[in-house]
Chains A and B, each alone.
Chain A
Amino acid sequence: MEMIIILVVLALLAFWAARIYNQLVELQNRHENGFSQIEIQLKRRYDLIPNLVETAKAYMSHERETLEAVISARNDAVAGLAAAAGNPGDPAAIQELAGAEGVLTGAMSRFNVTMEAYPDLKASANMAQLSEELTSTENKVAFARQAFNDQVTEFNTYRSSFPPVLFANMFGFSTDAALLEFEDSQAIQAAPKVSF
């Protein structure tokens, strides 16, 4: 009789562990899928920037440095995105991307400030359309990033909550996933509004 009770208890324990494992896998998949949402939007942003610089070149021939800074920061960010997309669970890759994005945002805001000195450029229809599209893409990046961070938080909270924390290491979920925080995320929202 005791054996039966022990067996039943063991079976229940096993079920319970299986549930925790399934939940962990589901939450991990969810935030990894969430990252590819950011990837789509960031790629779009990185595609728009060279067009923007190209358009600006015609007007801002004396500002070669600013333009080059934007392009090089953009290229670094593209590389960072590729690395992070390969492994969204790796905190180091996410940090790398966040850093590159920070540099790019800084370069873009300098570019925006410089642009204020060229009224012709600001007035050009092409530039207005590109800026508009860039702003809307940045809104989308912010939204996708928010979703990703929510999902990462959900995963991390679950992973470190009481019963799952006992199993998480055993199941191979030993580290928290990293949030994607841009140092200058306020500036992304504010950048187009800068005015002198």
Chain B
Amino acid sequence: MNFFQAQNKARHNTRLLTLLFIAAVGSLVVLTNLLVLVFFVDSQPGLSFTQQIVRAPQELWIYTSLGVVGLIAVASGFKFLALQGGGKAVAESLGGVLIHQNTRDPQQRQLLNVVEEMAIAAGMPVPPVYLIREDSINAFAAGFGIHDAVIGINQGTIDLLNRQELQGVVAHEFSHILNGDMRINLRIIALLNGILILGIIGGALMRGSMFSRSRDRGGLIALGIGLLVIGYGGTFFGQLIKAAVSRQREYLADASAVQFTRSSQGIANALKKIGAHSTGSRLESPQADENSHLFFGAIRSFSSLMATHPPLEARIQALDPNWKPNKGSSQQRSSTGSQGGAASHFAGQSEGFSERCGSANLASAQQLISSADESLNNASHDTFEARALVYAMLLGADEATRGHQLGLIQQLAEPGVPDLVPTMYAQIQRQDQQHRLVLLDQAVPTLKEMSRPQYERCYDLIGQLIVADGQVDLFEWVVHRIVTQELYAHFVQPFRGSGRITRPGKVDKQICQTLSLLAAASSQNDNQRLLAYQRGATLWGSRSAMMDVQYFDHQVLNQSLEKLRHMSADLKAKFLDACAAIVAADGQLKNGEFALIKGIATTLDCPLPPLDN
């Protein structure tokens, strides 16, 4: 299943969940109404229960129903508001502490490196990492989409797991992000909170009326008990649904983790260590309960029906068929082959391009990161130096422009930064474009640690550096796209594509424009350009002729993409396939083509794993 199918499925499941929830609220309304009727309608002798119901005053119906619906709406709304902060809010409510990108703690550094590799391997923004101070082995991912996702890791996880195992756990969390599980998870939390409120009110009513002296005392207590039963009963069934959904997703995430790391050993060994560890994956924090389905391992031991995670043994066996549960020394054994279970099902390169989105290319990512200059890697992790790195990337090739740009930096950047830029420029000259963009990806989470005024100053300067030579080239365009998409979303306002455009005809002009641009970047030769364009247009299913592209006009491209980002997941997948067809037409990936594809994927919120040339 690729990224787009997963997103579609997640949307579909969310809709299903909402329907289920409406049904649940409906039955709660009916039950509460019946309850109220039983206690408050004066029973008249000689009438059957049904007749009494029919005779009940209408206001009673209306008030009770409105009350129940209103309560649930308010309680769910509250929770939903609290969750609007996205993954950050969840991590902080669990007591998570942000790990800074320039941490000097070797364990934390390793963890950040593993997360960064995985993010670049999956072609998505590097998520912030929060540390939870608990000694058990566990981790979670939370957020609405790939742009506000965060990863949380327990102290015990980084203390007890080695790098390979850590990688397995992190890969598992990333697949939750890419499979769109987090959005569903957050919805479930909010909705369950709504149902639970009835039970809480029932409990309060019961306890309160125990001490009251009024004549209705007995009735109120009974009503309280009734509400308690309805509320907690509803929550119980809600928990069952949540647990069932969650168990499914866990198997899927385990399988994807194997696919990402190309090894089943890391994650299998991590699970074995949980089994052998005294506190296992349990969490102390009471806030963890409502988020239990976000975690890597089960946070409490439940009976199998209520469990949010499949049993450890079953998960390990799915990953490592040779493993036998063996009390005592079980954690010592492991399978010998590194390509176990799901890894062998990993499909080759022959699939469509969009198939690759939502998978990960770990080897390429590691290679890309490690082949960069050590000092540049360090600079990308330091809030202070990361800015100099981005500025240095944007320096022009000719002396005059560069002089002008350095003057701008001198004038507008904070003290100390202008001195760093020239040395970094020298180092960055030795990196090719793909490496530079990886460095930019690495720098993004670091830049998010600036304050708002610092961001504004930096963003303003980036803009000025880009237009310093009076034109915007492809590389400058993609840098601007990434910085805007990630930093603007973080500091000002995140953008969420609506997915409303489902008919290809509606965006034919924009598609044709973008494909023409890509074709123009693919070759110097007019015939080859036309050939490449036709390949892409055929895949998309458009008959529009190729547009004449004299030069790279970033404004036209941005306008087109502004519309295209509202396409549904299916159309995005098709569009990316068409783009890839153009790029692949002459069998080689040029710098301009790569920059365009990267910028397009970033703008459309699609993860783009590193491409092999």
Contact = CB atoms under 8 A, between A and B. Distances in A.
B383 A22 contact: no
A66 B416 CA distance: 28
A195 to B, nearest CB: 18
B103 A40 contact: yes
A36 B74 contact: no
Interface string A18-43: 11001001100100011011001001
Given A25-B92, A40-B102, A150-B452, A143 B82 contact: no
A11 B81 CA distance: 13
B63 A3 contact: yes
Interface in A143-158: 143-144, 146-148, 150-151, 154
Contacts of B451: 34, 146-148, 150-151, 154
B373 interface: no
Size range of the chain B interface in the assembly: 20 to 34
A143 B77 contact: no
B453 interface: yes
Contact of B449 (A11, A37, A146): A37
A142 B451 CA distance: 13
B530 to A, nearest CB: 52
Interface string A93-130: 00000000000000000000000000000000000000
A142 B417 CA distance: 12
B98 interface: yes
B85 interface: yes
Contact of B415 (A4, A29, A139, A151): A139
Nearest to A4: B66
A26 B104 contact: no
Given A4-B66, A33-B98, A37-B100, A144 B383 contact: yes
A115 B81 CA distance: 58
A25 B89 CA distance: 9
Contact of B383 (A18, A43, A143): A143
A72 interface: no
Interface residues of A, number: 34
B454 interface: yes
Interface of A: 3-4, 7-8, 11, 14-15, 18-19, 22, 25-26, 29, 33-34, 36-37, 40, 43-44, 135-136, 139-140, 142-144, 146-148, 150-151, 154, 189
Interface in B444-465: 449-454
Contact of A15 (B78, B384, B452): B78
A22 B416 contact: no
B452 A154 contact: yes
Contacts of A189: 415
Interface in B411-430: 414-416
Contacts of A34: 449, 451
B98 A22 contact: no
Contacts of A146: 414, 451, 454
A15 B450 CA distance: 30
Contact of A40 (B100, B453, B454): B100
B382 interface: yes
B70 interface: yes
23 contacts: A3-B63, A8-B70, A15-B77, A15-B78, A22-B82, A22-B84, A26-B89, A26-B92, A33-B98, A36-B98, A40-B100, A40-B103, A139-B414, A140-B384, A140-B416, A142-B416, A143-B383, A147-B383, A147-B449, A147-B450, A148-B451, A150-B453, A189-B415
Contacts of A144: 383-384
Interface string B61-77: 00100110010011001
A185 B225 CA distance: 65
Contacts of B103: 40
B384 A22 contact: no
Interface string B90-101: 001000011010
Nearest to B105: A40
Contacts of B66: 4, 7
A22 B74 contact: no
A43 B98 CA distance: 18
Given A15-B77, A40-B102, A140-B382, 10 more contacts: A15-B74, A18-B82, A19-B81, A22-B89, A25-B92, A26-B88, A136-B416, A147-B451, A151-B451, A154-B452
